[in-house]
Amino acid sequence: MEMNGQHMTNGHVHHGHTGFHRGMHAPQSRYHDSGKFGRMFPLLQSVAFDRQKLSQLGEGGGLMDPGSEHNLPHPSLPAGFVFLGQFIDHDITFDTTSSLERQNDPEGIQNFRTPVLELDSVYGAGPDATPYLYSDGVRLLIDQTATHDLPRNSAGTALIGDPRNDENLLIAQLHHAFLRFHNAIVDDLEGTVDDGALFEAAQQEARWHFQWIVLHDFLPRMVGQDLVDDIYTADCTGTGRRYYKWRNEPFIPIEFAVAAYRFGHTLIPSPMKVNDDFMTGGSHEIPLFDPHEIGDSDPDDLSGGARAPRRYVDWRYFFDTGDDMHQPARQFNHILSGPLFTLPFSPDIPSLAERNLLRGLSFSLPSGQQVACAMCIDPLTQTELEDSMGAEPYARLKSLGLHEHTPLWFYILAEGAARADGLHLGPVGGRIVAEVLIGLLEGDRRSFVRANPKWTPTYANGDGDFTMVDLLRVAGVLPSAVPA
């Protein structure tokens, strides 16, 4: 998971790519107008980390690189939630500035995605302003000739509200599921509401079910149910949000976007089993990245932008549909997925870990220990770091002089292992992520949290809940044999 760093190759956007000069213009205040980035802890002084040491920490072969080994599998987190987290990120953040950002006002780093959970990455600007996303002004466009793929134009470009949702096969297929989910709601509502109100009614249903998933299915897995209950409780028994505040409308905190919400990079399993037909070298396991020829219509990896009969996702391998087929994500710790250190579309700095660390430096972030103290949380002790990381990796961290003042992103990853046994984020990272996502719901007057807090999902399952598996089922993208 990460915010909007992006890179274009062959017309496709890749994560983790922007110039590091923009940190000179990082917003310094807590309160911002809607659509801006800001800070949760504006009074904390940044740490002048040594750039070379950060590069050593994050480079291939560094202590964040698993080498020939793999990060430990998570005992209960299906791999699909990693990509759902990326989908959520795309729904709330999108920075389209490039070289022009050098001239940005210090308070003006623009977020061109409204910071609310409203599925505008799916709906675009609506059927009037973006009619090419719709088939009849109410239903979203579905390619009837390629039942598993996104709709595309003659050049192969996906006709969707956010081009980043075609950057890999998993998120493209997830976007496709949301298209079909909206259309299924339209089919159910047709004839029960006036035609002129049909789109808005279906859109609200889809948005509220998505928001329910974020609050009740995604967040508890990433931060722990106890923390969610402490921040958001219907009977107001919890403490609520302590640090994520705004003046007029919600903004995206830099501490969230550049550090805390980038935890997904440690969760990605590799290789992954995609379906029973997608095979490479006699195996069903497909690598994340496998450099291929530009314009390859059927690459042997998870890259997006290509259409072929075998390039679809069997969601039983990514979510727990009850048939024990899903692949686990990896545990929360400081070790990233191996392919993220050899990005084929990033020859200058191929390690995403190195890019993340340098990006934190460019945004003048404080250390993890500073943020912990500001949150009245005891910082990780050296013993905790050594025990959770291992003696040799900790010695390497100490040799870089980063053990007492640790980059916020690295600290949050290590905290998940030290304070939550690798099952979810720790108290610092977890509270930042939970306060922001819950705060976005509480700050949006059209969310079900604000507009109808007693609402329950229309498509609730037998337990009265609604999960990502239920959405996939309603969308019609699960095999018919999957039990309801």
Torsion region of 238: left, alpha or beta (phi above 0 gives left; psi -120 to 50 gives alpha): beta
In the chain, the number of structural domains is 1
Q: What's the CATH code of the domain at 76?
A: 1.10.640.10
Q: Is residue 293 part of a domain?
A: yes
pTM: 0.90
The helix or strand, by DSSP H or E, that contains position 7, with its residue range, turns out to be strand 6-9
Distance CA 44, CA 46 (A): 6
Give the model's confidence band at 438: pLDDT under 50 very low, under 70 low, under 90 confident, else very high. very high
Q: Is residue 120 part of a domain?
A: yes
Q: Is residue 481 part of a domain?
A: no
Q: 273-285: per-residue pLDDT in tens?
A: 999 888 655 556 7
**Residue 43 confidence (pLDDT):** 93
**High-pLDDT (> 90) share of the chain, %:** 69
Q: Is residue 480 part of a domain?
A: no
Give the model's confidence band at 448: pLDDT under 50 very low, under 70 low, under 90 confident, else very high. very high
For tokens 């509270």, name the residue: 431
412 with 418: CB under 8 angstroms? no
Q: Is residue 1 part of a domain?
A: no
Tokens coding 471: 């959405």
Q: 216-270: per-residue pLDDT in tens?
A: 999 999 999 999 999 997 556 667 999 999 888 899 999 999 999 999 999 999 8
Indicate if the pLDDT at residue 114 is higher than 80: no
What is the widest separation between alpha-carbon atoms in the chain?
68
**Residue 289 confidence (pLDDT):** 76
Distance CA 385, CA 397 (A): 10
Q: Is residue 483 part of a domain?
A: no
Domain that holds residue 303: 6-475
Tokens coding 322: 């009850």
State the average pLDDT over residues 450-476. 96
Taking the mean position of all CA atoms in its chain, how far away is CA 30?
A: 23
Give the model's confidence band at 376: pLDDT under 50 very low, under 70 low, under 90 confident, else very high. very high
Task: Specify the higher pLDDT residue, 378 or 19.
Answer: 378
Indicate if the pLDDT at residue 18 is higher than 70: no
Indicate if the pLDDT at residue 96 is higher than 50: no
Give the model's confidence band at 292: pLDDT under 50 very low, under 70 low, under 90 confident, else very high. low
Q: Is residue 484 part of a domain?
A: no
For every residue of 56-124, DSSP letters joined together read HHHSTTSTT--TTS-PPEEEEEETHHHHHHHHHHHHH------GGGGG--TT--B--S-SSSS-HHHHT
Task: Specify the higher pLDDT residue, 93 or 141.
Answer: 141
Q: Is residue 110 part of a domain?
A: yes
Distance CA 411, CA 306 (A): 37
